Amino acid sequence: MEGLLDHLLREELSAVGGVDRAVSEFIRITDQLLPRRVFTRIVPELLNGGRTQAGTPVRPQLLGSDPACLADNAARLAELNPPGIDLNFGCPAKCVNRHRGGAVLLDEPELLHQIVRAVRAAVPAQIPVSAKMRLGNEDAARMLDCARALEAGGAAELVVHARTKRQGYKPPAYWAEIGAIRAAVALPIVANGEIWTVQDALRARAESGCSDLMLGRGAVADPVLPLALRAHDLGLAAPTRAWALLAPSLLSYWARVKARVGAKHQAGRLKQWLHYLRRTHPEAEALYTAIRTLQQPAEFEAALRAALPQAPCRNLQQTESLLVQTST
């Protein structure tokens, strides 16, 4: 989710709670060895033990098609001691695919194997190398070949987005196809795609056979979703004050954006997140309507603070405490 789910938003989503691990937006590898500052700029969590401030581990993700260059960059990245390194074979963006990156590589299982094998060999054994793929590029004909190639190359885990590149993000997601991949390889498999609610998550688990899920747009649209799913798994009541949990996150996110983003684009960044939140929170729709035409940071912030409730819960420990309290 390049351009939206960067380290600024990762901090907020992980602080709400329920997230076991995060993956960074992709770092494009072409034909050169990147300096360390590029990795720490995109994944500043590397300067904090590879974790967000709430303690969630973050795996940097690399995207490219040159095995040797990816291996060299993975080796340099490993010097920063990340909690893992992820490889992107799932991005459907045309601008990425045109330059032989992302999901277009799913037509070349042999190349997938070479990339994973080279990166695995370049990275210390204690750092896991995982991969993300879709069901295929234009179709799913080579789906199992790709999964087997990634396993043979040494991937420790595989996330599968349950659509092809051609299918993009158009519903539905074909979670049952992930079950065929699970049967074909011994790797831990994580299901991904079109998970917006706890009910979606339970259906994805049932159809794919996967217990672990990766949430992307669903977690951006409803940051309480991971916490609600965890509550379900623990047999607890779901959080009942969702918007009250999110109000401090919006204010905190605004503060982060002001500190790191140029004034011209600050309001747009928060509106972008609100656009997703509108899908699951009526309060977000009302807030978006109130601030939609505002651009000047001072005016925007005044309207934002006036519209948001002031809620005390802000971090992982506090929200998980609230989760337990709502079950009694």
Residues within the annotated binding site for FMN? Answer: 61, 132, 161, 192-194, 216-217
**What is d(CA 58, CA 44) in angstroms, rounded to the nearest whole number?**
10
**What is d(CA 219, CA 203) in angstroms, rounded to the nearest whole number?**
17
Would residue 91 show up in a list of annotated catalytic residues for this protein?
A: yes
- Residue linked to tokens 């998980």: 320
CB 180 within 8 A of CB 147: no
Q: Is 63 helix (H, G, I), strand (E, B) or coil?
A: strand
**CB burial class (10 A; 0-12, 13-18, 19+) of residue 171?**
exposed
Residues within the annotated binding site? Answer: 61, 132, 161, 192-194, 216-217
Can you name the residues that pair with 217 across neighbouring β-strands? none
Quote the radius of gyration of the chain (alpha carbons, Å): 20
Contacts by 281-289, CB closer than 8 A, 24 or more apart: 281/222, 281/242, 281/243, 281/246, 283/243, 284/243
Can you name the residues that pair with 26 across neighbouring β-strands? 61
Selecting among 69, 91, 146, 313, the annotated active-site residue is 91
Count of alpha carbons within 13 angstroms of residue 15, beta-carbon side: 19
Q: Annotated active-site positions, please?
A: 91
